[in-house]
Each structure stands twice: as structure tokens, then as C-alpha cells.
A = this chain, B = another copy of it.
């Protein structure tokens, strides 16, 4: 159980509790088991009003405490402690981490295969059947769950969480406080081939990928996402980049600090993405272009040229009844006539 006092301490790592002075000693001792939405939370649950759309649920909420902006604090029911902050959503994020039951992970499982030349920091956890190659370095307090493969010469920072069945290719550099979810592939060979078209020989000559993947600090990468090594130079992921599941980051892509990328997006080779961009799901970005800082791309946008001005961009057409769509698609096709 977590007290309000503990919650406040965690939340204030990011932002002040504006009404802290008004919370009395008894309220500070109130205990919480988890987090709930305004409509479902009970007295032992913390809730929050992040989006004013849900204001109608506030007055009847049974939550034990509510994270809320100053604008709505008067509407918090008497049974709940109001915790007033500038960003209730950020406060909820901070509080959520206290309730996560991370398993206690200790030591190095005897089944792991670890090269003698690997350098493993203090309090590192290495799970069953991990394979750690020559000259790998793993920083203090990093955890590798079951079946993680780290090839030779990779360098992993401290306080990383690397979930099961991640593969990290040779010479990859991964910062600290990085989270890689199940099945991520970092540092596989990029998709580089030169056509031969010699009828008597192979169709494609493979280009060995001599660059690395270099990932900054506080990066999060979702399940099954692939980040390929560079051809000559490196593929580079900045600090505080967050990437969802099933994303393709091709060789020599560069992603600026703080950019977020949703699931199923594909970024082709040698493209450079700026800082603080928000890239929706299933976006496709062609190769060898540049997208400047602070660009938002809505889901399924197709980007075929560089974007030089910050702002929001979209493409595509939205779902309509199929019979209507057939007519619209035919008329779109007619637009293409000479």
C-alpha cells in the first residue's frame, strides 16, 4: 500500500503539488492500492482528471484522491483528497510507477553464456539463456531478461531494462536508462544491395553494413521494432526518443532528441528526423529526406519529400462506405488523366 505522502514525493520529482500545505496529516496517511479511472476507482485508488471531457464523472467519483488542475479543484467530492497540479496527466504518470510491481531481479542465471571478456557492472541481472559475446560491456543495475542475445563489442549503459528475446547486434552502443521490450532487434544488417542484373550471376550484391546503431539515454523501444545498423556511418537514435511496437528504422536513419514514433511506422534509409517530432502510427517516410524539428505527422501519413517547416502534416483519405469509396477512387483515378 502506498500513502499520499509517498505519492506526493514521487510526483514532486516532476512538478509541485500546488495545494500541498492544505493536506492534513490524516490525509497524508491515506493508503492506496492502485490507480483507477474516475468512474471505477474506489477509496483505495488514486484517480485523475487529465481531460475536461470527463468532468461529468468527477462529482460522483469514489476515488480516494484525485489529481486535478486548479480550475476544477472545487468540483472534487468531499470523500476524495484533491491533489492540485499543473499537469494531472504527468502526475498520474509519475504516480503510476510506484504501483508497478517490478519483479525483484538479482544475479546472473547459471544458464547464461557469457564471454570471459565481457565486462558486467554491479547489480546487473542476466536472466536464463542469455548469450553475451566477447568484449560486451553492461553498465550497473541493468537487467537483461530471459533469452537476450548481445553480440560482440556491444556497449550497454546503466539502469537499462532489456526484456526477453531482444537481439543486440555487434558493436551497438546503447545509452543508460534505456528500455527495450520483448523481441526488439537492434543492429541487424541494413537492407543494402547493389543490383548486378548479370543474367549469369546473382541479382544483387550485398553491401556489408559497416556502421553501428548508437542509441542515446532514456530511450524506449517497443516489441518487435527493428533498428538496423548503418552502411558506412551509424544509425543514430537521440536521447529521450520513444518508439512503439513493430516500427522499422532503416540503416543510417537519424532521430532527434525527444521524438515519439507510434506503431507500424516505417522510416527508410538515410532519412533524418528532427527533435520533438510526434509521428503517428503506420506512417511511411521515404529515404534520404529530412524532417525538421517539431513536426507532427498524423497516422498513416505518406511522406515523400523533406519537411522544412514545423507543424502538423497528414495525407490519405478516411474510411467511407465501400460503395461510395469505389466511386471516389474511380474519380481520383480520372484526375490522373492527361
Report Cα–Cα, A336/B324, bound state, in Å. Answer: 4
A136 at the interface (CB under 8 A from B): no
Between A100, A203, A233, the greatest number of chain B beta carbons within 10 A of the residue's beta carbon is seen for: A203
- Which residue among A164, A204, A319 has the maximum number of chain B CB atoms within 10 Å of its CB? A319
A77 at the A/B interface (Cβ < 8 Å)? no
Interface string of A185-211 (1 = CB under 8 A from B): 100110111111110011111111110
Chain B residue with the shortest CB-CB distance to A224: B224
Instruction: Name the residue of chain B whose CB is nearest to the CB of A102.
Output: B208
Closest chain-B Cβ to A199's Cβ sits at a distance in Å of: 10
Report, nearest first, the 9 A-B pairs whose CB atoms are least far apart. A324-B336, A328-B336, A203-B258, A100-B208, A203-B240, A93-B194, A314-B325, A96-B208, A328-B335
Count of this chain's copies in the oligomeric assembly? 3
Given contacts A266-B281, A314-B322, contact A206 B220 (CB under 8 A): yes
- Tell me whether A87 is interfacial, beta carbon within 8 Å: yes
What's the minimum C-beta distance from A322 to chain B, rounded to whole angstroms? 4
CB closest residue in chain B, given A97? B208
In the complex, 11 of the A-B residue pairs with CB atoms within 8 angstroms, ordered by the A residue number, are: A40-B233, A96-B209, A103-B152, A146-B149, A182-B188, A223-B226, A248-B263, A304-B318, A304-B319, A314-B320, A316-B317
Would you call A245 an interface residue if the criterion is a C-beta within 8 Å of the partner chain's C-beta atoms? Answer: yes
A316 touching B302, Cβ below 8 Å = yes
User: What are the residues of chain B within 8 A of A324 when measuring CB–CB?
Assistant: 333, 336-337
Whether A257 is near chain B, meaning CB under 8 Å from some CB there, is yes
Whether a CB of chain B sits under 8 angstroms from the CB of A34 is yes
Give the shortest distance, in Å, between A267 (CB) and chain B (any CB). Answer: 9
**A90–B128 CA distance with the chains assembled, in angstroms:** 43
Collect the chain B residues with CB atoms within 8 Å of residue A185's CB: 181-183, 223-224, 245
Query: Does A35 lie at the interface of the complex (its beta carbon under 8 Å from any beta carbon of B)?
Result: yes
A202 to B276, CA, bound (A): 12
Residues of B within 8 A of A145 (CB): 149
